[in-house]
Amino acid sequence: MNRFFVTVFYSGLSPKAPGTVGTIVSIPLGLVLLYYLGVQTFALLIFALFLAGMRETDRYQAATGREDPKEVVIDELVGMWVVLAMLPDFLSWWQVLIGFGLFRLFDITKPSLIGRLDRRYKNGFGVMLDDLLAGFLAGVCTLAIFWLMGLGGALL
Comparing 109 with 91, which gets the higher pLDDT?
109
Show the CA angle centred on residue 125, arms to residues 96 and 117, nearest 5°: 80
Residue 151 pLDDT class (50, 70, 90 cuts): low
> How many C-beta neighbours within 10 Å does residue 104 have?
20
Tally of domains in the chain: 1
Say how far apart CA 81 and CA 16 lie, in whole Å.
22
The confidence score (pLDDT) of residue 142 equals: 95
| Rounded CA separation 79/136 (Å) | 7
Contact by Cβ (8 Å): 90, 129: no
pTM > 0.85: yes
Q: What is the pLDDT of residues 25-81, one digit of tens each?
A: 999 999 999 999 999 999 999 999 999 999 999 999 999 999 889 999 999 999 999
What is the residue range of 40's domain?
2-152
Per-residue pLDDT tens digits for 74-104: 999 999 999 999 998 888 899 999 999 999 9
HEC assignment per residue over 18-75:
HHHHHHHHHHHHHHHHHHHHCHHHHHHHHHHHHHHHHHHHHHHHHHHCCCCCCCCCHH
